[in-house]
Every structure is written in C-alpha cells, then in structure tokens.
C-alpha cells in the first residue's frame, strides 16, 4: 500500500481511565465528534488518544486473519481504525465462545451511503462469525434531539430505514430489530439498572449535556446502552457483545463499559470506523446536508447532480492540474471511491495518477456517479423485497404499524 492512508498508527495502550473525557472540550477545537455532531477535519490518531481507545494494528489484523483467512478491505484500508477489546472477542472466538453483534440507527431521515458502511461490515462479521445481531432504532433519541421533529416524521423514517437495514442482507434467522418506542419493555428493566449507576455529573462530562438540554436527552443514554446487556439475559449467561459503528457513538460505550462489570456483564467491545465524507468541502456524510449525501432512495439524475457538484481536491484549471497534480487526500470523491468502490490497487493507482497530474476530476466524478447509481439501483430492488420481511426481523416478530 502507498502512503495514501495517513494513519500510520502506533500501538497505544487501551485506557478506559480516560472514560470521562469532557465532551465539551474537543482537542484543539478544530473538529468535533459527538453522537450528535461531527464537524471539521478529523484527526483520527488524536481521537484514539482523546477517547482512550486502541488502534487496529497489524497484530489484531493478523489475529482476525487467523480466524477469517482473509483481511476485509475495510480493515486493510484502515477504514475501521480503532477498537476496544476486539482482541478479547477474537480470543474468545478462538476458544469457541460466541459473541453477539449490536449496532443501530437513529431514524432522523433517510439512510445515506455513510450509514451503510458499518452495516455492510457488520453483515460481513455476521456471516464470518455466525453471530446473532441486535439492531437498535433509537426513534426516541431522534425525536428528543430536535425540537421541531414530530413523532409522525420519525415513524415514517423508522419504517424507511428498516427497509435499508433488511436490504443490507442480514441473516433473518439471527437478526432482530429493536425499535425503542415499540420494544421498550425489553430494554427498560436493564436501562433503569444502568441509569441508577450513572450520575448527572458523569453524563455531562461524557455527552456534554448542559442546563438547557431537555431531560429526555439526559435520560436517554441508558436506553442505547441496554442492548449491550440484553444478549446475556437472552442467553442466560454473560455473553460478549461487539459493536461495529463509526467512532461518533463511542461516548455511549464509554459510559456502558464503566457500569458493565459492576452489573455482572462483560464490557461491550467495539470496532470503530472513520466517517465517509460528504461531497462538500468538509465533514462527514450527513442527512443534515442532503445536497452532499447520496441517499439509498436517490434517483439516478439526483446522484449525477450531487456528484457533479462535488468538491474535489483538483486545481483551478486543467493546465494547473496537469502541472501540479490534485490533492487526493483532501478530496471526498477520492475517499468515497476508495472506501466503497475501488479495490486497494485501483485506489492506490488513482492516488498516484491524481497527484501526478495524470487524472482529471471529471474522470473520478464519472466513476463515482456510475458506481453509485449501479449500487443504489441494486439496493432499491432489495429495499422493495424487504417490505415482505419486516415482521420477521422485529424483535417480537410482530408487524410494525405505520
């Protein structure tokens, strides 16, 4: 691999003592990563230190490879770059112990390509490790977070998002979707046990809550923590859980890990991804900037338009581009192609051609638009079929009433 990926991450010690890094104090303030806001140019190496996680280093990749006989591109390309206790999960697997997967979605809008990346990797893990999966939809969180959002809107997105989740291809026999407002009775007994062990002062430090935060938000985190322990209740014994997600969700797990052992459970393990960038000048792909996000329901013309308007690392003119080359590292189109559609060799070649002035932005944009349209067209077909399977995926096997 070339030095395309700037993450030559050194081996750091896990540091759960860093649990309560103050969410209000972001490192040097040129980026921000919380469960609700991700902004600026993120320094992922610094985030590992700041959050007290461990880097995904060659040792853990080898441990993975020993079990899976291959290295998934998202690991090889350092898209998943950080973890907590992944080594323990792999160790337990080697000793024949099964683990659950747990991931989720806050249904505040339609699903975009960024959301899909951790889910695609979760499906890979499910297939490889034969794991049961809990998939939580935090409709409560998303209702509480935005004052102007109605329950009806959230209900609509919850259903639409379920179709995307099913379309990813999770195994219907071992995957259960939990919608907080619908399946609360399964979460609540665990959530109140967690809530009782966390002070407001800790919640403020972890999540950045202030006096103007509504009390629903303040009470919410134990609901997202509860599925970490649900597998132990389902299985009737302490059961390990691995959470694949982007790193923005980490504050929830820091809090959960702190109470786990006191409650007689394993600390939940995590594997953290970076963010798929939006197609604008900076920041992650986000539903709140729809013009720079590709949604799973976008029509081909819309995808063409969004990609054609995308920011790139190109020079102002073709002549300058040929002379100085482009800035692939700062180009969302490059990263989007690298993480989603190019294989490692293609991507490394694209990097070299771009930076040496032998590739123009139009070509990359046309590759991205073409591949995204093919991908979304196929996903849409699976979304349609998913309508017949909603009930099968529900935690209680009941239909989801919309």
**Contacting positions for ligand TYM (CB under 6 A):** 35, 102-106, 114-115, 117-118, 136, 138, 141, 224, 243, 245-246, 248-249, 273, 275-276, 284-285
Q: Residue 189 belongs to what H/E stretch?
A: helix 180-196
CB of 353 to ligand TYM, least distance (A): 26
CA dihedral angle for residue 38, residue 40, residue 43, residue 47, rounded to 10 degrees: -30
CB nearer ligand TYM, residue 227 or residue 325: 227
Q: Which residues pair with 40 in a beta bridge?
A: 31
Tell how strand 31-33 and strand 38-40 pair up.
antiparallel
Cβ-proximal residue to ligand TYM, closest one: 106
CB of 387 to ligand TYM, least distance (A): 21
Number of neighbouring beta carbons within 10 Å of residue 266? 21
Contact of 211 with 180, CB cutoff 8 Å: no
In 3-state terms, what secondary structure has residue 133? strand
CB of 111 to ligand TYM, least distance (A): 8
Give Cα 35 to chain centroid, integer Å.
11
CB nearer ligand TYM, residue 106 or residue 208: 106
CB of 95 to ligand TYM, least distance (A): 26
CB of 276 to ligand TYM, least distance (A): 4
Who contacts 11 (Cβ-Cβ below 8 Å, separation ≥6)?
55, 57, 59
Q: Which of 243, 254, 245, 244 shows the shortest CA–CA distance to 208?
A: 254
CB of 32 to ligand TYM, least distance (A): 14
CB nearer ligand TYM, residue 93 or residue 103: 103
CB of 246 to ligand TYM, least distance (A): 3
Give Cα 289 to chain centroid, integer Å.
17
Long-range pairs of 42-48 with CB within 8 A, sequence gap ≥ 24: 42/274, 42/275, 44/7, 44/9, 44/81, 44/82, 44/247, 44/274, 45/7, 45/9, 47/82, 47/247, 48/9, 48/12, 48/81, 48/82
CB nearer ligand TYM, residue 288 or residue 356: 288
CB nearer ligand TYM, residue 45 or residue 353: 45
CB nearer ligand TYM, residue 224 or residue 296: 224
CB of 223 to ligand TYM, least distance (A): 9
Question: Where does residue 70 fall: left (phi above 0), alpha (psi -120 to 50 degrees), or beta otherwise?
Answer: beta
Q: Terminal CA-to-CA distance of the chain, rounded, Å?
A: 48
CB nearer ligand TYM, residue 52 or residue 118: 118
CB nearer ligand TYM, residue 90 or residue 117: 117
């Amino acid at each position: 691999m070339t030095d395309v990926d700037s993450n030559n991450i050194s081996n750091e010690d896990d540091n759960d003592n860093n649990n309560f890094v103050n969410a209000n104090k972001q490192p040097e303030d040129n980026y921000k990563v919380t469960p609700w806001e991700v902004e600026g140019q993120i320094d992922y190496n610094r985030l590992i230190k700041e959050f007290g996680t461990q880097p995904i280093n060659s040792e853990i990749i080898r441990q993975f490879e020993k079990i899976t006989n291959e290295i998934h591109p998202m690991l090889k390309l350092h898209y998943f770059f950080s973890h907590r206790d992944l080594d323990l999960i792999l160790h337990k697997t080697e000793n024949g112990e099964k683990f659950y997967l747990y991931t989720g979605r806050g249904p505040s809008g339609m699903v975009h390509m960024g959301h899909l990346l951790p889910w695609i990797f979760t499906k890979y893990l499910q297939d490889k490790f034969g794991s049961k999966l809990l998939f939580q939809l935090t409709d409560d969180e998303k209702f509480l977070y935005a004052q102007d959002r109605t329950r009806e809107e959230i209900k609509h997105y919850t259903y639409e998002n379920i179709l995307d989740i099913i379309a990813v291809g999770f195994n219907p026999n071992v995957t259960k979707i939990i919608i907080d407002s619908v399946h609360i009775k399964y979460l609540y007994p665990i959530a109140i046990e967690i809530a009782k062990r966390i002070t407001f002062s800790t919640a403020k430090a972890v999540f950045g809550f202030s006096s103007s935060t509504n009390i629903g938000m303040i009470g919410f985190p134990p609901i997202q923590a509860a599925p970490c322990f649900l597998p132990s209740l389902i299985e009737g014994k302490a059961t390990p859980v691995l959470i694949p997600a982007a790193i923005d969700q980490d504050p929830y797990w820091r809090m959960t890990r702190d109470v786990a052992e006191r409650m007689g459970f394993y600390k939940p393990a995590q594997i953290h991804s970076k963010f798929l960038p939006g197609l604008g000048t900076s920041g992650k792909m986000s539903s709140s900037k729809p013009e720079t996000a590709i949604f799973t329901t976008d029509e081909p013309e819309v995808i063409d338009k969004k990609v054609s308007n995308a920011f790139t690392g190109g020079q102002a003119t073709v002549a300058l581009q040929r002379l100085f080359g482009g800035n692939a590292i700062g180009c969302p189109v490059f990263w989007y192609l690298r993480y989603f559609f190019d294989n490692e060799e293609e991507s490394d070649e694209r990097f070299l051609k771009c930076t040496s002035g032998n590739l123009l932005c139009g070509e990359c944009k046309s590759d991205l638009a073409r591949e995204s349209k093919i991908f979304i067209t196929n996903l849409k077909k699976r979304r349609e079929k998913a309508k017949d399977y909603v009930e099968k995926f529900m935690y209680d096997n009941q239909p989801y009433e919309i």
